[in-house]
Amino acid sequence: MRYVSTRGGTALRRFTDILLEGLAEDGGLFLPESYPQVGSAELAAWRQLPYADLAAEILARFTDDLLRAEVASICRAIYTASVYGNGRADSDFAQIAPLRWLEPGLALLELSNGPTLAFKDTAMQLLGALFERVLAERGATLNILGATAGDTGSAAEYALRGRAGLRVFMLSPHGRMSAFQRAQMFSLQDANIHNLAVRGVFDDCQDMVKAVNGDAAFKARYRIGAVNSINWGRIVAQVVYYFKGWLAATAAGAGRVSVCVPSGNFGNILAGWIAKQMGLPIHRLLLATNENNVLDEFFRSARYRPRAAAETYATSSPSMDISKASNFERFVYDLVGRDGAALRALWDELSTQGSFDLNGTPYLSALRASGFASATSTHADRLRTIRAEYERGGLIVDPHTADGLKVARELRQPGETVICLETALPAKFAETIVEATGRAPERPAGYADLESRPQRFEVIDTDVEALKDYIAARA
Ligand SMILES: *Cc1c(COP(=O)(O)O)cnc(C)c1O
């Protein structure tokens, strides 16, 4: 398996090379040269596999420069009930990603039972183990530079804390995360973790990371790596639960299965797109946005117009407050027939005109055939959905998952089963839950005193040179 850059300008690379990197040298994103294909015989054989073994089967198809037995043993060490059980030992949680039926034709895929209570743990815990393994073999060290709207940062830090050869520099938008998210990250006292609160929004943080990575000399000298959602290892780890969800839903008798995904950086739903390209019969991919609905606009109009930081709203589903989805380029690369020059032309248009339009281009039919549909969910929708779900069955969902459920119900067609991906537990977003239901969400055991633990972080300006100095002094 070789990897290419979406901008077409990079030599072919292997999984263990791109694992440790962010952007490709030409500014593009890495993708496999072609997607491995999975047929119905494999799907049938995978039905009985525990999650860890399913993960090993899928990962092995993308990681042929690692020993298969090694991939399997890393998966078995990571995908255990003790990492993903939230202290709960019942058999549902031992499934890692259990499917919970809300009603016939609508189910939640529970992905938030890892240490930071969001779906990002599923990929990040695996990445931590893979990084440590590859660095040890090379006798190398790595400085992880990342940007987070909340959940990526904590998932990365919990996956990398205390790991040999790794330091973490994590940028987050100052004052924009929930108290729980802040406490979760900033309370880590491990010496290899550095929290930087940036006076700006998430897109500013992401731009700073891109700027540092754009300085090739600095990047090489300080061995800068990434774990934010452009990291290929994360995408491929997320592919696994689309298979898991589809296998569980069809085992329960579902026919046409679609997946609805609360989206921000387009990382989670991109994994669904890849699962579909591999041959998993996903009927439709339903994309849910909050008020920051650039992607909903794109899938409805075929016009892509990302917005500036100043036009990005702070909402009650903050992990989706993104107006320039970094993984979107990977999907567009597939849409334009994997033609790096065509992709570059669209991105040039984007930088000169602020938008591009697929209407009247040969790519419109590929978009129409992609199986994507989308809708927007607002604060009022979120509250109504959380309240309705609570009144219906006593289940409290987090605000991001509520965006997904609102869109899943709105777009679901007769005869279609929709799996909505649960992206976080409500305990992370208590304020909105109280606003919707009048009661605070339960916290899993071990999180009761989180906000009262001492916090460690520094506030910085949106100043790339100052950020480089900070890293240079500590790397
Ligand atoms: C990261 C995140 C999202 C968005 O996922 P993307 O991969 O960025 O599209 C949605 N909800 C929650 C809770 C998240 O943490």
Give domain status of residue 368, yes or no: yes
Domain annotation covers residue 195: no
Q: Classify residue 356: in a domain, yes or no.
A: yes
* Dihedral sign for Cα atoms in the order 343, 344, 346, 347: positive
- pLDDT value for 219: 92
Give the active site residues. Answer: 120
List the domain range (segments joined by +) for residue 406: 99-114+233-437
| SS3 at position 346 | helix
- Let me know if residue 160 belongs to a domain: no
Averages of pLDDT over runs of 10 residues in the chain (475 residues) are 90 87 86 97 95 96 92 94 73 82 96 92 94 92 89 91 94 89 93 96 90 93 87 95 97 96 96 98 98 98 92 91 92 97 97 97 97 98 98 95 98 98 94 96 88 95 97 93
Which ligand 1 atom sits closest to the C-alpha of 263? 9
List ligand 1's pocket residues with C-beta within 6 A. 118, 120, 151, 229, 262-268, 319-320, 400, 423-424
Dump pLDDT digits (tens) for 427-464: 989 999 999 999 999 988 888 889 999 999 999 999 99
Q: How far is the CA of 290 from the centre of ligand 1 (A)?
A: 11
Residue 246 belongs to some domain of the structure:
yes
Q: Are 249 and 262 in contact (CB under 8 A)?
A: no
Into how many domains does the chain fold? 1
Residue 176: inside a domain, yes or no?
no
- Look up the CATH number of the domain holding residue 415: 3.40.50.1100
CB atoms inside a 10 Å sphere around CB 63:
21
Ligand 1: which of 185, 273, 320 to mutate, most ligand atoms within 8 Å of CB? 320
230: Cβ contacts below 8 Å, ≥ 6 apart:
22, 23, 29, 267, 326, 327
Q: Which two tokens stand for residue 391?
A: 């009144």
432 in a domain, yes or no? yes
Euclidean distance between CA atoms 457 and 166, whole angstroms: 18
Atom of ligand 1 nearest to the CA of 238: 7
Is position 392 within any domain? yes
- In this prediction the pTM is 0.93
